[in-house]
Copies of this chain bind each other. A is one copy, B any other.
Amino acid sequence: MIQQIQKDFAPWFDKLSEEQLAKIVENQVSLNYNKGEILSKQGGFASHIIFLSEGLIKIYKEHNDKNLILKIVKPGEFIGLSSLYNKGIFDYSAASIDSSKVYSIQAEIVKYLIRNNSDFAEKIIGQLNQNTSQYFERIMSLTQKQLHGRIADAILHLSREIYESDTFNMLLTRRDLADFCGMSTESAIRILKEFHNDRIVNIDGKNMHVISYQLLERLSEVG
């Protein structure tokens, strides 16, 4: 068990002391979530930080029925860091889009580590800033590009950042994809079909195969 934790967290704690490791082990619980289950609700207390060990999580905001998926989190990343030293409230919801395994760590422990392990603090800042860069990309995609460009961006993101393969089972429903691209479900479906017909990607249900990254990038570029 301790070995598993050590392994999962390895990239985050180069210089973790015995004492610090013990603190983590003692103040953490391991949880499993099924597809569709909610890990945290927008507005809830952010007393814990979640570390995703296996699976896939969507981070989303709710607004008048409609959802917007802010980020798709893959294993090795923390969820809820942005609540640290902030309002102590989650400003987004998180739900599992695949069966997932997580460690839930008390926020106080993460703060303790930040204070007592500058290496960890630097890495946390690094992840926060990487997320911010990603959010900037998303803002540009969502606000400056039209439907084709947005879907192209989403497929590129899924292929390169999330699944790291040109062929993947995307798990996201059409509705999720639409929520990720800030468009109606019908539009998402229509454009996926167009991309399929134009031989840019090959789509069979949720299975997706990227045929031409070049065309996707072109679409992303022109918006």
> Which residues in A have some Cβ–Cβ distance to B below 8 Å?
61, 63-64, 66, 68, 70, 81-87, 91-92, 111, 114-116, 118, 121-126, 128-133, 135-136, 138-140, 142-144, 182, 222-223
Query: Inside 8 A of A92's CB, which chain B residues have their CB?
Result: 136
Interface pair B118/A128, CB less than 8 Å apart: no
Query: Inside 8 A of A144's CB, which chain B residues have their CB?
Result: 63-64, 66, 68, 182
Tell me, in angstroms, the Cα distance from A121 to B83 when the chains sit together.
15
Kindly report how many copies of this chain are found in the complex they form together: 2
Closest chain B CB from A87 CB (angstroms)? 7
In the complex, besides A86-B126, A128-B129, 19 extra interface pairs with C-beta distance below 8 angstroms are: A61-B139, A61-B140, A64-B144, A64-B222, A64-B223, A68-B143, A81-B129, A85-B126, A114-B122, A114-B125, A115-B122, A118-B121, A121-B121, A124-B125, A131-B132, A138-B139, A142-B142, A142-B143, A143-B182
Tell me, in angstroms, the Cα distance from A163 to B113 when the chains sit together.
37
Tell me, in angstroms, the Cα distance from A52 to B176 when the chains sit together.
40
Tell me, in angstroms, the Cα distance from A72 to B84 when the chains sit together.
23
Tell me, in angstroms, the Cα distance from A223 to B87 when the chains sit together.
24
Query: Inside 8 A of A182's CB, which chain B residues have their CB?
Result: 143-144
* Neighbour of A63 across the interface among B82, B124, B223, CB < 8 A: B223
Task: Say whether, besides A116-B118, A139-B139, A133 and B61 are in contact (CB < 8 Å).
Answer: no
* Neighbour of A133 across the interface among B66, B91, B133, CB < 8 A: B91
Query: Inside 8 A of A136's CB, which chain B residues have their CB?
Result: 61, 70, 91-92, 135
Query: Inside 8 A of A111's CB, which chain B residues have their CB?
Result: 122
Query: Inside 8 A of A114's CB, which chain B residues have their CB?
Result: 118, 121-122, 125
Chain B residue nearest to A67 in the complex (CB): B144
